[in-house]
Amino acid sequence: MTPTRIRIIIGVVAGFVGVLGAGRPAFAQIASGSDIAGSWMPFAHEDFVDRIPGPEPLDWTGLPLSDEGRKVGLSYSVSRNSTIERQCALHPPQYLVLGPFGIRITAETDPFTGATVAWHVGAWEDRAPTTIWMDGRPHPSDNAPHTRGGFETGKWLGNTLTTHTTHIKAGIIRRNGVQVSDQVTLTTHYIRNGDLMTVLMFIDDPVNLTEPHAISKDFRLQQETTLDSTGPPCIITYEGTDSNSVAHYLPGKNPLTGELFKTYGIPREAALGGAETMYPEYRKKLKAAYVRPEKCPHNCGGLPGGPPGGFPGGPRGGGPPGAPPPPPR
């Protein structure tokens, strides 16, 4: 992604949050800028399919995958997650924006100066806690361990806390197996306005991506609820997959490569991602190859069994399974 596009995205998101926040009554506003502590709940409808039921297998549309990243994804079998050694392996810190959950942020202050030394972003279910160091400490050396939460340092730029995360373990970039390598780094912007906060993340992996992948997630500050800052314990159990087995598909043998075409008429070349598929111009190219299915079988914009057009407060859209899909834009 080009720097200009990155600047545009940050500007648009910051503006969007500002517009939303401007409508709030003055008494609900919290002094702007430098306090992100609190319990923050996400908007469930935002990127609903990716974050709640989970995306279709091999739906990598809009991911700037390199050829290497695509190959790793194509060999992935979901059975791998059932091995003893993977069951309690948490997702890496980018799961903060990829996953469905809220976050609780607390401040660590210097007892003498009162300055914020660090922000602690609490864990949730399947994501480790992260500490955002604000005291200017350097990042560890290349030989230091990569941790589940990564090593994150931050700086305020106006009302936006911008952080840089390194020392991250290999892990998912979308919730269907496609992943980034242990060379991944994150640039994250925590943009707060009143009781709204947008977390805008740029995921950069020189191995499995050709450009940074930008993804944002919006949160609302909870006034009366406090989220936990640790996830529940994880108990490992036998799930039918032997330890030390590595489930994977050999090249050309992944049976799911045509799934997105069968279900939604999306051509394989678009389903397998690539930087080109991130940009609006790609729709023109895709138009000729897109075959609109007669019926939308699932993930049509609402919860199964929910009211037509989606569920209250949820996504707009095509209604229950079997409803005609929305016309292509």
Partner 1 sequence: MTMRAIRYLLAVFCVLGVAVVPGGQQAALAQQLDAQTLGDGMELFRVRSNFYVLTGAGVNIGIQIGSDGVVLVDAGDAAHADRVIAELKKLTPRLIRYIINTNGDADHVGGNEKIAKAGKSLVPAGDGLATILAPTEVTLRLSLAGYPSGAWPTEAFIETLRRDMHLNDEAIEVLHQPNAHTDGDSLVFFRRSDVLMAGDIIDMRRFPVIDLEHDGSINGEIAALNRIIDIAIPSVPLVSREAGTVVVPSHGRLLQEIDVVEYRDMVTVVRDRIASLMKEGKSLAQVKASNPTRGYTKRYGSDTGSWTTDMFVEAVFKSLAAERSKRR
Here the tokens at position 163 are 């952080």
Integer Cα distance of 308 and 27 in angstroms: 37
Rg (CA), the chain: 21
We find the least distance from the C-beta atom of residue 84 to partner 1, in angstroms, to be 9
Is 142 or 281 the residue whose CB approaches partner 1 more closely?
Answer: 142
Shortest Å distance, C-beta 90 to partner 1: 6
- The beta strand positions in the chain, using DSSP E, are 38-42, 103-109, 116-121, 130-133, 151-157, 160-166, 171-172, 179-180, 185-193, 196-204, 213-221
Shortest reach from residue 232's CB to partner 1, in Å: 9
Q: Is the CB of 183 or the CB of 263 nearer to partner 1? A: 183
- Closest separation between CB of residue 111 and partner 1, Å? 5
Query: What is the rounded CA–CA span in Å between residue 121 and residue 93?
Result: 10
Beta carbon of residue 89, minimum distance to partner 1 (angstroms, whole number): 5
- Minimum CB separation of residue 70 from partner 1 in Å reads 8
Choose between 231 and 326: whose C-beta lies nearer to partner 1. 231
CB of 68 to partner 1, least distance (A): 5
Q: Write down the residue that tokens 């809220």 correspond to.
A: 102
Nearer to partner 1 by Cβ, of 136 and 313: the residue is: 136
Quick one: 81 or 187, whose CB is closer to partner 1?
A: 81
Closer of 113 and 223 to partner 1 (Cβ): 113
Furthest C-alpha separation in the chain:
67
CB of 71 to partner 1, least distance (A): 3
Give counts: helices (H), strands (E), the chain.
Answer: 7, 11
What are the residues binding partner 1 (CB under 8 A)? 66-72, 74-75, 80, 83, 85-86, 88-90, 108-113, 115, 117-118, 123, 128-129, 134-135, 137, 140-149, 169-170, 181-183, 206-207, 230-231, 233-236, 243-244, 246, 248, 250-251
Pairwise CA distance, residues 140 & 172, whole Å = 23
Those residues whose C-beta lies under 8 Å from the C-beta of residue 55, and which sit 6 or more positions away, are 49, 174, 175, 176
Residue carrying structure tokens 């045509």:
258
Contacts of 264 (CB under 8 A, 6+ apart): 56, 293, 296, 325
Complex with partner 1: residue 135 or 239, whichever CB lies closer = 135
- List 131's β-bridge partners, or say none: 120
Locate 150 and state its tokens: 């990564």
CB of 137 to partner 1, least distance (A): 5
Calculate the CA 292 to chain-centre distance. 28
Q: Do 163 and 190 touch, CB atoms closer than 8 A?
A: yes
Nearer Cβ to partner 1, position 149 or 301?
149
C-beta of 46 vs 269, nearer to partner 1:
269
The answer for residues whose C-beta is within 8 angstroms of residue 124's C-beta and 6 or more apart is: 99, 101, 102, 103, 227, 228, 231
3-class state of residue 257 by DSSP: coil
